[in-house]
Chain A
Amino acid sequence: DAKTTQPPSMDCAEGRAANLPCNHSTISGNEYVYWYRQIHSQGPQYIIHGLKNNETNEMASLIITEDRKSSTLILPHATLRDTAVYYCIVRALTGANSKLTFGKGITLSVRP
């Protein structure tokens, strides 16, 4: 079972920041927080991951709370092409929990 909970959907206006929340209250010390997204009819695509520090790359920023029980993925300037299902996943890099276990994700709709 997925170890994360996400709202089923949200929307935002094009050009504005999209803040996607995720709860992972049972995360273990060796588990990372990963975000993937899946655009309709395509395979999932990696976005970003982090352990405890905030992370930023060319696609997004990841803010992890100090207690690591929740996180927020931020798309700073959402475009229509960012409309997709976003999956928040906790995962260890090695061992039994090293595979990706997807939940239902959150459907982000970016409106013009």
Chain B
Amino acid sequence: DTGVSQDPRHKITKRGQNVTFRCDPISEHNRLYWYRQTLGQGPEFLTYFQNEAQLEKSRLLSDRFSAERPKGSFSTLEIQRTEQGDSAMYLCASSSLTSGRALSGELFFGEGSRLTVL
């Protein structure tokens, strides 16, 4: 499968602990996005990268959240000192600016990492 992969798929943690999610985008996709989705809501934009540069961050991304994409390939999203309100599905998506389908602006999503904070 050469789609977007996310790890872990499920994470249960206690309040105050740190968690890290990893996203492996489709090979050679230069844009990578993080979204958060809570029950009954649509995905909310958190941040996105073009190659290794983080170009935009939502105000939802508090100081406890940090995202990196050090070599322009995979990305990590770390949440420090987790709170119960952080419980959500964290979705990663990637897109390409250079492939033939890039003009469609299509984002390819992974299946998400579900976080439960107890």
Binding site for B on A (CB under 8 A): 2, 32, 34, 41-46, 49, 85, 87, 91, 93, 98-105
Contacts and interface: CB of A to CB of B under 8 A. Distances in A.
Contacts, number: 50
B104 A49 contact: yes
Interface in B4-54: 4, 33, 35, 40-45, 48
B105 interface: yes
A87 B105 CA distance: 15
Interface residues of B, number: 23
A102 B35 CA distance: 10
The 5 A-B pairs at the shortest CB distance, nearest first, are namely A43-B109, A102-B42, A46-B106, A102-B43, A93-B105
14 contacts: A32-B105, A34-B105, A41-B111, A43-B111, A43-B112, A44-B93, A44-B109, A45-B109, A99-B45, A100-B45, A100-B107, A102-B43, A102-B44, A105-B42
B115 interface: no
B42 A99 contact: no
Contacts of B48: 99
